[in-house]
Amino acid sequence: MSTSAQKDEPCLAIVGRSIAGLTLARHLREGGYDSSILSFESEKCEPYDRPPLSKELFGNYFHPLAEEGYGSLEDIGARQIDETVTHIESITSTFTSAFTRTEAENSSLTTKIETSAYHSYTAEDAAYTSGILDASTRTNPRWRLTTAEGHTFEIHTLVLATGTRPHATIPGARVLYSASDAETLRSQIGKGSCVHIVGAGWIGMELASQCANVGAHVEVWEASPHILGRSFAGAVTDIWQPFLRKAGVKLHLATPYPGGLNCDVLVQATGASPTFPLPSHLGIRSARGAVAVDVWGRILADATPLTHSSPICQAIFPGLYAIGDCADTLLPTGTWNEGGHWMSALHGAARTATHLLGTESSLRFLEAPEIFSTQFGHEIGFVGTVEPHARIEREETEDSLILRWFTGHTLRGLLAVDAPRALARARKVLRSPLPNQEV
């Protein structure tokens, strides 16, 4: 392993070796990229899939991604460095480019981002960094990263795939994020255990379902009046309540966890925050606290969406990308596609790979955000977005339930409970053309 940045040629580095990081590395190799890839990871085990941790907690919860067909780093030929990246800095401080902003705009932008390590581009030169992994780029170090062990590496293209960290603020509570969290929980929960879960979001609901299934006594506390409130703003509470009742799960809505209660296991499932080792002045953050990127995963220095009709440019940091849960995508329409879900991590990694390889034209669509879940004996999927004043239509049969969100006559989102065909149809309707298709 290198301890000196000077000894080695600059490399492409991917920080985080979960579904997003691994998928990117695999696509790059499949696309013909044959230079060094460094893969950094804090967790000292092979890459695995997180969704089974909460869906198969008491069964086969550990699914290595290699066995699921997502590639192994050995086959991909990436150099694995099992260290935590703690610091990232720009080596090159200036970039030449034709700015289209006015002087005033440029100066306020510079003040705002407190760095000159960005490049602004317009619709005309949107392809500037496309196919970035050409021979000249590979010899041009632009970023230096440092690990907790004190090793430094010079990097020409740096991709953050560092995901999220679960909120852990309740004293004595456990969380469920990693395989070792899952191992701990399953060793402590069984028939007759008293389990308290704080948070009625996706992971809280899946956990409640799993624990009830093995005969634990489960109670769930949720501070808001809603089940899955962050995703559906109250539209599904009446649908989920019977699921919980039938499973024998006691639910306390609009009730923050009071603390001081006796139980065998207390789990906090109140969400997760994006995590990435970027200095706070570098790039902008979305409302979720994620690093803002464009559809190709380029980290943005300002939040002006790039549209083909607009002369206003967008600023990026050349050779710096983020994919997966740590990133939110600013779309050309000016709206955000939030990360935080498995399918977004997969699709985002694929898009960034095409951009780095210069093969964007092989991708035609931007997939709509999608969530899947298995709980209380139901297969659940949601695709699209829930807009605040959307009209909701409900379609129910004996075996399935569908909710559709519309603005005007336009479908914006669809929730399918045991209705996979409706989900597949909505997936096609809700995707949108990628910017490269409009040029």
Ligand X SMILES: Cc1cc2nc3c(=O)[nH]c(=O)nc-3n(C[C@H](O)[C@H](O)[C@H](O)COP(=O)(O)OP(=O)(O)OC[C@H]3O[C@@H](n4cnc5c(N)ncnc54)[C@H](O)[C@@H]3O)c2cc1C
**Nearer residue to ligand X within complex by CB, 20 or 434:** 20
**Nearer residue to ligand X within complex by CB, 18 or 224:** 18
Minimum Å gap between C-beta 66 and ligand X is: 15
**Nearer residue to ligand X within complex by CB, 20 or 315:** 20
Cα–chain center distance at 248:
32
In the beta sheet, which residues pair with residue 371?
Answer: 382
| Candidates 43-51, 127-135, 399-407, 428-436; binding stretch for ligand X (CB under 6 A) | 43-51
In the beta sheet, which residues pair with residue 195?
Answer: 218, 265
Q: Whole-angstrom Cα distance, residue 393 to residue 145?
A: 50
**Residues 26, 27, 50, 404: which binds ligand X (CB under 6 A)?**
50
Q: Whole-angstrom Cα distance, residue 413 to residue 427?
A: 9
Instruction: Decide: is 85 part of the binding site for ligand X (CB under 6 A).
Output: yes
- Find the helix or strand (DSSP H, E) in which 157 lies: strand 152-160
Instruction: Decide: is 42 part of the binding site for ligand X (CB under 6 A).
Output: yes
- Find the helix or strand (DSSP H, E) in which 51 lies: helix 51-55
Instruction: Decide: is 220 part of the binding site for ligand X (CB under 6 A).
Output: no
Minimum Å gap between C-beta 15 and ligand X is: 5
| Candidates 129-137, 216-224, 369-377, 410-418; binding stretch for ligand X (CB under 6 A) | 369-377
Instruction: Decide: is 84 part of the binding site for ligand X (CB under 6 A).
Output: yes
Minimum Å gap between C-beta 176 and ligand X is: 5
Q: Whole-angstrom Cα distance, residue 40 to residue 302?
A: 27
Instruction: Decide: is 373 part of the binding site for ligand X (CB under 6 A).
Output: yes
**Nearer residue to ligand X within complex by CB, 43 or 264:** 43
Residue 110 neighbours by CB distance under 10 Å: 14
- Find the helix or strand (DSSP H, E) in which 180 lies: helix 179-188
**Nearer residue to ligand X within complex by CB, 57 or 315:** 57
Instruction: Decide: is 41 part of the binding site for ligand X (CB under 6 A).
Output: yes
- Find the helix or strand (DSSP H, E) in which 349 lies: helix 342-357
Instruction: Decide: is 80 part of the binding site for ligand X (CB under 6 A).
Output: no
Joined tokens for residue 142: 């632009």
By CB under 6 A, the residues from 16 to 35 that bind ligand X are 16-21
Q: Whole-angstrom Cα distance, residue 317 to residue 332?
A: 18
Instruction: Decide: is 381 part of the binding site for ligand X (CB under 6 A).
Output: no
Minimum Å gap between C-beta 406 and ligand X is: 23
CB-based contact 101:120 (threshold 8 Å): yes
Minimum Å gap between C-beta 345 and ligand X is: 4
Instruction: Decide: is 37 part of the binding site for ligand X (CB under 6 A).
Output: no
Joined tokens for residue 166: 């679960």
Q: Whole-angstrom Cα distance, residue 334 to residue 284?
A: 15
The pattern of x and - marking residues 142 through 181 that bind ligand X according to CB under 6 A reads -------------------xxxx-----------xx----
Residue 6 neighbours by CB distance under 10 Å: 8
Q: Whole-angstrom Cα distance, residue 203 to residue 35?
A: 39
The pattern of x and - marking residues 252 through 291 that bind ligand X according to CB under 6 A reads -----------------------x-x--------------
Q: Whole-angstrom Cα distance, residue 12 to residue 240?
A: 45
Joined tokens for residue 82: 């099992």
Residues that bind ligand X (CB under 6 A): 15-21, 40-43, 50-51, 53-54, 84-85, 161-164, 176-177, 203, 275, 277, 324-325, 340-343, 345, 371-373
